[in-house]
Structure formats: structure tokens, C-alpha cells
A and B are shown apart, each in its own frame.
Chain A
Amino acid sequence: MLKLEHISFHVEDEGQDKEIIRDVSLSLPAGKLIVVTGPNGGGKSTLARLIAGIEKPDSGKVYFKGRDITQWSVTERARAGIAFAFQQPVRFKGIQVMDLIRLASGKDLSASDACEYLSRVGLCARDYINREVNASLSGGELKRIEIATVLARGADLSVFDEPEAGIDLWSFQNLIEVFSQMRQTVKDRSILIISHQERILNIADEVAVLQGGRLTAQGPREEILPGLIGSPSAMKECFGYSAGKGGKTVC
């Protein structure tokens, strides 16, 4: 489904080149859920943005369903079947939740169809469908609407950048259910989640660890996770264990 080959990416920071992603190669087969984890500042969100096309790599190739999409725009990638949930969802004055879900689906959805997506992320659809996606919504509400837009896309590859950020304890359980359900209902579609949460890692088929811009481990969850949780280096890199909301923070 998705293949990254030798991806590197840098930014200029106060006149100095800073390498964010260093020679990363990653493969995600169809029908799999991969969680990319690692310490803060390790390059995870940048990797997600490189996949969505928001950033372009300095070198390396991105393949999607066998096609080289390295130079494709965000729009082209979206139309080809890549959906992206932002870590910090965007607010819009005047645009209603219904409008956003309709745009995401690419169809003239009925209100009841749109409500279905909201219900799946634990929002009482009737209360939200006509709300503006503006500052009147809380961070958690926005985050769930963001996830609903990705569900409405029905894309072959859905990328979630830290979906748990800003979500409260009660919604977190619902979020796990959303991902589990996505996996079960669409067998040939793939999901990539950037996350620190053990409970999200626990539903992954594969786990990849990104540290200092490099991929330090990738493989089936059963192989990677035990080492990751027990590893002193992970402890050191990741501020140790902390009881985060709704689950233990691994990294």
C-alpha cells in the first residue's frame, strides 16, 4: 500500500540545517495497522506530513499503491486515497461540521449519513451537525470532528497524527473502538497512527520506532513492543513511564 524509500528531510533553524528525518525506509502492506512511536521531537509528525504531501522530502521516494507519488501535491495524494488527521485540527469561521464532513466524503451526503460519522466518534450528532467549526468548540470536540472527517473520506490509507492528543479519558476508549472498527470493517485498507499510547500500540499489527529522525525498529507488534516497553534506552529517551489519560504512555 505505502512504501517509503530512503526518505530524508531537513529544515533550516536559525540559519542552521537541522535534519528531521534521516534515511527512513518503511513499508505498510494493505490491510494493516501500523503505529509509529518514539520520543517527542523524533520526527514522527514530520513523517506523517511527508506521507500526506504537506512536506516534500529532500531525497528518497514515496510509493502509494505501486505508484511513485513523491512529487504529487496534497490534493493529488488525497484524491488518490490518502486521508490525514491533523494533530491540531484547524478551525474555520462559518464552515459548519456538516460542510466539512460533506467535503470529506466528496458526496452530497444526507444529514443522517453525516451524523453517522459523528456518532462513531462519540459525538451526539444532532448537537454538532450545524455547529460552526470555530473557536466555540473545545479541543476535544474538534479532535473528534477531525477524526470523523477522516472516517468520511473512506480512504485506502488513513494517517492519524497523535489522535489521542487533547482527548479526554472517556473519549479515549471510544477512540480505540473507532480504530478497531476501522480495521475490522475495511480489510484491504491501511491505517498509520502516530502515537505514544500503549493502548493504541496494543491494537497495531506493526510497530515502528522513530528516534532522532531514524527508524530504529520496525516489525510485528509482538516482536517490537515487549522490547520497547522493557528497554532502558526507551525509558531514558521517553521520560519513563507516566500514567497518561486513558492508558500508559510508552514514549
Chain B
Amino acid sequence: MLKLDEIQKRLLAEVADLHTVPEGAYNIRSNSQSAGRKSTANIEIIPKTDVSGLDIRIKPGTKNESVHIPVVMTESGLKEAVYNDFHIGADADVTIVAGCGIDNCGNQDSQHDGIHRFFVGKGARVRYVEKHYGSGSGAGKRILNPVTEVYQEENSTVEMEMVQIKGVDDTSRTTLAELASGAKLAVRERLMTHGRQSAVSAYVVRMNGDGASADVVSRSVAKDESYQKFDAKLVGSAACTGHTECDSIIMDRGRILAVPGLEANHVDAALVHEAAIGKIAGDQIMKLMTLGLTEQEAEEQIVNGFLK
């Protein structure tokens, strides 16, 4: 039975699109406690005994099932590190929805550091969605420092969608991936910072086997006086293909640092990076104004479209 107040329910809707108890396996963590947990025949969620966190075991061949593990925090001053390990059996095909919402109305910082490790078996397919959201009027910061480690066996596929659109003051995101032969990784990151927020996102993707491929794409908007750093490094040590792209809109007094990095250790490693930072083009705003939008409405439409 879930016991959540209205704020916690709102956070859950923001980070996991959850309005009721999800179907399939889930664990909902609220203020460092489990507010509800369910395993299924194919997906087992077991609390760790040495540290805070979960072991999530998905049986080989599990098809079209989902796991939700959202986190909500509403107590000011709460700081936690959570270690979740996902063991995904060979040829499974699953969707995993994580995400963290912090509402901080107090003066102390609230911080959630989620350390997620994915062990993806041969031929398995994983779609991973992680949303971050912050709200509350307190002076205490809302801080999220996720670490994601992905270990992909032969011919596995991982698609990751990372979204942080609003309210998180400080983020340092680290994503590490190791890809065996034929493994595919696709990352889509969408980020918007405002106020005095800071967001750092660093990737190191190692393609160790022939036929591995990685595509890491970030779209971001830095408003007000916020700061962003996107540091994406692809390492190709076999016949592989890698592409990284950082496309950013800078507004107001925002600052953005893009550091694309490519390392080829094999003659057949084909690696490409693209990075572009720029303000919204004046003619884009003008076009939307000729459709009857105000300058501010035009900016919102352009930013929303860019981050869609």
C-alpha cells in the first residue's frame, strides 16, 4: 500500500509519469524509505544488505516488461547515496524507468546520489528513462549526482533517455559504458538549466569489440546565469562506430562548455563528434512573431521544440 502525500504524488508524476501504482515490477523510494515494492515472476527486486539500494534481477528472455524505481524526497536536509544494480538476462527486452524528484522548502540542501550499474546480457535490449526534477521555494539546494555504469555483452542494445528540465540546482552526472562486440548504445540527453544552476555531464564510452556502436546526443538550454559542461569521450578499440553531438542554446548570461573527445586505438574505429553552441536566431523569433506570438512566447516555443 502506497502512502504518499500530494507533493510526493506530484513529484512521481513529473519523474516517472506515474499517477497510480505502475504495472509490472516497481520500487518507490520516498524520503529514504520504501513506500511500495513489487516483484514479478520474471523481475525480482531485492534490497541490498550492505548499503542502501536494490538488486534488480531480470530473467533471461523476459519480454516487454517494465521496472519503475522512482525516488521522491520532500524532507529538507536529506542526503543519501543509493546503489542499484540491474542484472539483465540474455535476450530480455525491458523498459526501466528511474528518476528523482526533490521538493525542498527548507534551508538545508537535499541531495540524492543514485549509483546505477547495468549488467546487460547477450542480445538483451534495455530502454532506460531517467528524469530529474526539482521544486520548492526553500533556500536549500536540490542536488543530484547520478553515476551510471553500463556493461554490455555481445549484441546487446541500450537506449538511454536522460531528462533534466527544471529545478535541480546542482548536478554532476557521470556515465561510463563498456561495449562488447555488436553492442549498441544510444543516449539522448535533454537538459535545461536556469537561475544559478550548474550541471556537469561526463561520458566515457569504451567500444571494445568489433561492430560496437555508440551514439551520444545532448541537447541543452542554459538560461539566466546557469552553467553547463558537457564532456563526452568515445574510445574505439576495435572496428566500431561512434558519434557524439552536443547542441546547445545559450541565453541571458548562461555559460556552456562542450568538450567532445575521441580516442581511436584501432584503424577501423570510425569516430565523429559535433558540437554547436549559439543563441536563438533572431529570424526564428521574428517568424513566430509574424504568426502572432510575443517575443517571450516565441522563445518558449523554440526552447520547448528544441528540447522535445
Contacts and interface: CB of A to CB of B under 8 A. Distances in A.
Chains A and B are bound partners: yes
Interface of A: 52, 54, 73-75, 78-79, 83-84, 86, 89-90, 92-96, 99-100, 103-104, 106, 149, 153
Given A75-B295, A90-B283, A90-B284, A99 B290 contact: no
B227 to A, nearest CB: 22
Contacts, number: 59
B291 A153 contact: yes
A25 B104 CA distance: 62
Interface in B285-308: 286-295, 301-302, 304-308
A132 B53 CA distance: 41
Chain B CB count within 10 A is highest, among A83, A84, A94, A100, for A94
A74 B247 contact: no
A90 B307 CA distance: 18
Contact of A103 (B283, B293, B295): B293
Contacts of B290: 52, 54, 74, 78, 83-84, 86
B267 interface: no
A95 B302 contact: yes
Contacts of A100: 291
B2 interface: no
Interface class of chain B by DSSP: helix
B51 interface: no
Contacts of B288: 103
Interface of B: 219, 247, 281, 283-284, 286-295, 301-302, 304-308
Given A52-B290, A92-B305, A149-B291, 20 more contacts: A54-B290, A73-B289, A74-B286, A74-B289, A75-B295, A78-B289, A78-B291, A78-B292, A84-B290, A86-B290, A92-B302, A93-B219, A93-B305, A93-B306, A94-B304, A94-B308, A95-B302, A95-B305, A95-B306, A103-B293
A75 B284 contact: no
B284 A92 contact: yes
A33 B74 CA distance: 63
A149 B295 CA distance: 18
Nearest to B306: A94
A96 B306 CA distance: 10
Chain B CB count within 10 A is highest, among A74, A83, A153, for A74
27 contacts: A54-B290, A73-B289, A75-B289, A75-B292, A75-B293, A75-B294, A78-B289, A78-B290, A78-B292, A79-B292, A83-B290, A90-B281, A90-B283, A90-B284, A90-B286, A90-B287, A92-B302, A93-B305, A94-B304, A94-B305, A94-B306, A94-B307, A95-B302, A99-B301, A103-B301, A106-B292, A149-B291
A95 B290 CA distance: 16
A79 B292 CA distance: 5
Closest 10 CB pairs of A and B: A95-B305, A94-B305, A78-B292, A74-B289, A90-B287, A94-B306, A84-B290, A104-B291, A79-B292, A90-B283
Contacts of B293: 75, 103
B290 to A, nearest CB: 4
Contacts of B286: 54, 74, 90
A95 B289 contact: no
Contacts of A99: 301, 305
Contacts of A153: 291-292
A103 B289 CA distance: 10
Nearest to B292: A78
Contacts of A74: 286, 289-290
Nearest to A159: B290
